[in-house]
Every structure is written in C-alpha cells, then in structure tokens.
Amino acid sequence: MSTNRGPGFVSQAEYEHATQDVLARYEGSLDRDSFRAVWLLHQAADAARSFQTANVLDEYGLSWPQFEVVWNLWLFGERDAGWVAQAAMVSKSGLTTILAQLSARNLVTRRGDPDDARRSLVRLSDEGDRMMLDLFRLMNTVEKQFASALDDDGKRHLADLLSALLAGWEDRRAQP
C-alpha cells in the first residue's frame, strides 16, 4: 500500500520545524495552538485522502471529487444537482463534467425534476450502488490502516474532538 503523498512531500517533522520558524517571525501575535491544530488537520486530511485514493479509488478509476459525488448519493439517495455539487464541494460546471464521466460508466443516472423543470435529479444506478458496497468495505480497511497509530480510545477521542470542532463551526456559521 502506498503512503507517498506525491511530489514535494516532506515529513511531518519537517513541516513542524518549518512552521515553527514561520511562527517565530510573529513574536506572539498569533494563536499558535489554533494555527497548529488547523494546519495539522489539513495535513492529516490531505494524507488520508491521498492514501485512500492511491489504495482504493485508483482501483475503481475514481478521482476524489467523483468519489464525493457517489458517496453523497449513496448516503442520501436521489438529490438535485445543486445539492450534489454543494455536498461534493465542486462547482456546478465541475459537477456537470463529473456526472458525464460517471454516467458514461453507468454509475449514476440523471432525470429532470418533475416539480421544477430547471433542475435535474441525480441518483446512483444499480451498478453504482453495487460498486459502493464493495468500495465502502475496502475504504474501511484503508481507514483502519491509516488510523493504526491510534488505539480504539484514541480514534474515538479524535472523532469526538473533530465532531466538536465541526459542530462549533456550524453554530458560528448559523449566527447572523
């Protein structure tokens, strides 16, 4: 299984050293703990995404944005294209390309919305659903490998911390 994060990869220790040098330039005017927490969150997410792509998605010929589309459709069922674009964090024009690619592989189907002719509805095809059943099992195997540095309590604690972080962000976003 590949662990390479691609061209330009540097070790976590090198990142830590480089960021400490940058923070030292600001002489206490920055919240170092927030910087480090969010920076490490980005690093961990990028590493996990790269690991999952190299060890599962490449086998299925899926890019990460394509996976985001089929994942959200698998979880939530048929949705309008605007919702899918937002859930997958892609532009509407980017979604058009992704849906064309997934449709060509018979993984998704599209149809007009009977309630609003301006919208189209997207859902996984039966083939897409079968693929996700297999892919989900493989993804979990890779997730287990990626998270193997943590024991079960550590994994639960990390998940609880990330959940609290996201809940707090959603609360702040909802405020006027």
Between 87 and 22, whose confidence is greater?
Answer: 87
| The pLDDT of residue 19 is above 90 | no
As a three-state string, the secondary structure of 37-93 is: HHHHHHHHHHHHHHHHHHHHHHHHCCCHHHHHHHHHHHHHCCEEHHHHHHHHCCCHH
Question: Each residue of 22-36: pLDDT tens digit?
Answer: 778 887 788 888 888
Q: What is the pTM of this model?
A: 0.83
Cα 9–chain centre separation: 20
* Confidence band of 63 (pLDDT split at 50, 70, 90): very high
Between 8-17, 53-62, 137-146, 155-164, the lowest mean confidence (pLDDT) is in 8-17
The span from the CA of 46 to the CA of 129, in Å, is 26
Between 37-51, 67-81, 90-104, the lowest mean confidence (pLDDT) is in 37-51
Q: Which residue has the tokens 């040098």?
A: 21
* Phi-psi region at 28: left, alpha or beta (left = phi > 0; alpha = psi -120 to 50): left
| The pLDDT of residue 101 is above 80 | yes
**Token pair for residue 72?**
């959200």
Backbone angles phi, psi at 116, to 5 degrees: -155, 105
| The pLDDT of residue 7 is above 70 | no
Q: Which residue has the tokens 């170092």?
A: 32
In the chain, what are the domains? 12-61+130-174 (no CATH), 64-124 (1.10.10.10)
Average pLDDT over residues 99-124: 95
